[in-house]
Amino acid sequence: MNFSVLPPEINSLRIFAGTGSGPMLAAAAAWDGLADELSTAAAAFSSVTSGLTGGSWQGPAAAAMAAAAAPYAGWLGLAAARAGDVSAQAKVVAAAFEAVRAATVPPMLVAANRAQLVSLVRSNLLGLNTPAIATTEAEYEAMWAADVAAMVGYHGGASAAAAQLAPWQQWLQSLPGLPGQLASSATAAAAANGWPNLGIGNTDSNVGSGDVGTQNLGSGNTGNTNLGSGNTGNGNLGSGNRGDSNVGSGNLGNSNWGSGNAGNYNQGSGNHGDNNVGFGNAGLGGTAGNDNVGNGNLGSGNTGSGNIGNQNQGWGNQGDNNVGLANRGSDNMGFGNTGNNNVGFGNTGSGNIGIGLTGNNQMGFGGLNSGSGNLGFGNSGTGNVGFFNSGVGNWGIGNSGAIDTGFGNSGFIDTGIGNSGALNTGIGNSGLNAGSGFNVGFGNSGINNFGVGNSGSFNAGSFNSSTSNLGSFNAGNFVLGGFNVGSFNSGAHNTGAFNAGGYNTGFWNAGDINTGMWNSGDLNTGLGSAITQTVANSGFFNAGSTSSGLFNVGNGGHNSGFFNVGSGGYNSGFFNLGAGGSNAGFFNSGAGGGNTGVLNLGNGGNNTGFFNVGNGGYNTGFVNAGSDGSNAGFFTLGGYNSGVLNIGSLNSGVLNSGTANSGVPLILLLSLLSFVPLL
């Protein structure tokens, strides 16, 4: 990119309007943590195998096991070194950003220079201001040159840091022994001849139990060369993945580094799409969002958080190609603009340069706010309280949605930071589009999730890439979804953990409808069977067909767990009651079904979380009540609320009552401030 042709309004905003070096430093810390974990795992793995073979475990089997395990210890060590290299380069990039930020002219100084120029030109009736105009222009040219020099240096430093990192696929090919195992099924089968079969219930040569495939180190895998348990696919490092070459757990796709992603080549968690870096990024309308850097973006190519649209840089923008904060439109540079092609703050219209202008193609200062009924600075919407809000009825900073409370929200009735969906409580939740979300937590890109990093929907837990799971790191099934009670399941409708099959009650089952552990066959009751039994159910005292566990007696079948009753079937967990079926969790009752979590009551169904009551359904969070339903948060009463302790409807924030309120009630705010000592 040729930075010399860009004015300081653009170059300065690009540096100051983004998220800063914080995300890069956080990424570096995460890579450091991963390197430490991998190093510890490598040392522990080597110590355990050495202790076994050097102790009482002797003979050909021990020698074969040690030979098979040695490459994995080496791979873990190399992966730790690789993660350390990535962390170091991330720190270099963060340092380069801090340097360019220090060298870049602040946007407010650039705006002040332009405002001064406009004032001088307008008052230059007799030419007396000509020297001052020339001085102002010279200062502007110096700002231009300083920004260009800073950006060129930053680009060079960041490019040099990136050049130090080889692509992951190239690095994987350099691992000793791994390319030969992954090259083809024929090569893998040939390599498997040197592997032992250590465990029970395996269909080939594996170190573990209940595996279907070859060269797995773990249990309950379906596929080859997985290091972990409950994976469906090949070459995964982690558990509960469905796909290939993932590093992490609960991913649905290929080559992800992180957890709970639905897509490919993501770095982070809870992303729906490809090549995203961060948490909870997705596309509009339930589609995939690609190439986002940040959190909770709804679209593609965004840098920042909480943006709806494409190619935005900043927070809480709605539209395309915006640079800044809470712009509602396209091609804006600045904060809180409503319209297109504006430069500045709080403008309403298009083609404006300045602050608080209303109309089109104007320059100058029109007031602290444009729009109507706003309190604060730089607001261009209606009824906002705060700074740089461009929506309606927002409370906070940089919100472009409606009835939002917080910072950088572009959705509807959100409480938190950087949410681009609707009725979210938390940080960086994107939902399926600008009108849906109902997430409580951080970095969720699905709907009705209660937790962190879920790219699926109706999950109570974290890092789930499928639907209706109570637990974490569940990738589920392409056709059946999730409905798992437990963690690290890449199958569906399981009660337990590390199951790659479906409708299992237990652990490490790669087959289907098993009650027990390490079964790679189907319909087994017990341990380690590779045989498919000719029975209707596994377990004991189950009615209907295709059920596992104990005392599942309701109509519909397809249950896993214990004591699930009522019509509908397809329940996972314990003591799920009532009609409707498709519950995942414990003690869910009432008509409607589709509940995920614990003790969700009422007849609306489709609740996610804990102790949600009332007949409206579609509540997400903790102890939400009311006949209207569709609440996301904690202790809300009514309908369509986000936040904490709101009573009524369409509220965001804390302790609001009535309709369409945002923020914190004044009396509560004053009470809180009374406890803050005056400086």
pLDDT tens digits, one per residue of 92-139:
888 888 898 899 999 889 989 988 988 888 888 777 888 898 899 899
DSSP state letters, 474-542:
---BTTTB---BSSS-SSSS-EEES-SSSS-EEES--SSS-EEES--SSS-EEES--SPPSSS-SSBS-
Confidence band, pLDDT 50/70/90 cuts, at residue 457:
confident
For 575, other C-beta atoms within 10 Å of its C-beta total 18
Strand ranges inside 378-417, DSSP E: 385-387, 395-397, 405-407, 415-417
Of all residues in the chain, the percent with pLDDT exceeding 90 is 19
Domain ranges for the chain, please list them.
Answer: 3-165, 319-400
On the question of pLDDT at 68 being above 70, the answer is no
Tell me what pLDDT residue 290 has. Answer: 95
Over residues 2-52, the pLDDT tens digits come to 777 788 888 888 788 766 788 778 878 887 887 887 788 778 777 777 776
**What integer is the mean pLDDT of 142-171?**
78
| pLDDT band (50, 70, 90) for residue 503 | very high
Domain 3-165 belongs to what topology?
A: Ferritin (1.20.1260)
For the segment 479-496, the average pLDDT, to the nearest whole number, is 82
What pLDDT sits at residue 557? 84
- Mean pLDDT of the region 602-612: 83
The 8 Å CB, 24+ separation contacts for 374-381 are: 377/345, 377/346, 378/335, 378/336, 378/345, 378/346, 379/336, 379/346, 380/328, 380/336, 380/337, 380/338, 380/346, 380/347, 380/348, 380/356, 381/328, 381/338
As a whole number, mean pLDDT of residues 277-291 equals 87
User: Tell me, what's the pLDDT at 424?
Assistant: 80
Mean pLDDT of 487-496: 87
Are the beta carbons of 79 and 51 closer than 8 angstroms? no
Q: Work out the number of other CB atoms within 10 angstroms of the CB of residue 674.
A: 7
Residue range 627-639: average pLDDT?
85
For the segment 338-353, the average pLDDT, to the nearest whole number, is 93
- Average pLDDT of the segment spanning 439-459: 80
Radius of gyration from C-alpha coordinates of the chain: 28
CA 339 to the chain's CA centroid: 30
Please state, in angstroms and rounded to a whole number, the distance separating the CA atoms of residues 663 and 666.
9
The predicted-structure confidence for 205-221, as pLDDT tens digits, reads as follows: 888 888 999 988 888 99
The mean pLDDT of the chain is: 82
Q: What is the 3-state secondary structure (H, E, C) of 142-183?
A: HHHHHHHHHHHHHHHHHHHHHHCCCCHHHHHHHCCCHHHHHC
Share of the chain above pLDDT 70, in %: 88
- pLDDT of 306 reads 86
Identity of the highest mean pLDDT range in 145-154, 420-429, 603-612, 666-675: 145-154
pLDDT of residue 180: 44
User: How many other CB atoms are there within 10 angstroms of residue 63's CB atom?
Assistant: 13
Mean pLDDT of 605-626: 84
- pLDDT-derived band at 673 (thresholds 50, 70, 90) equals low
More confident residue, 376 or 163: 376
**Residue-wise pLDDT tens digits, 390-435:** 889 988 888 888 888 888 777 788 888 877 778 888 887 776 665 6
The least confident of 73-77, 406-410, 493-497 is: 73-77
Asked whether the predicted pLDDT for residue 270 surpasses 70, the reply is yes
Residue ranges of alpha helices (H) inside 164-308 are 168-174, 178-182, 185-191
56-65, 214-223, 655-664: least confidently modelled range: 56-65
Determine the pLDDT at residue 185. Answer: 39
The pLDDT-based confidence of 609 (bands split at 50, 70, 90) is confident
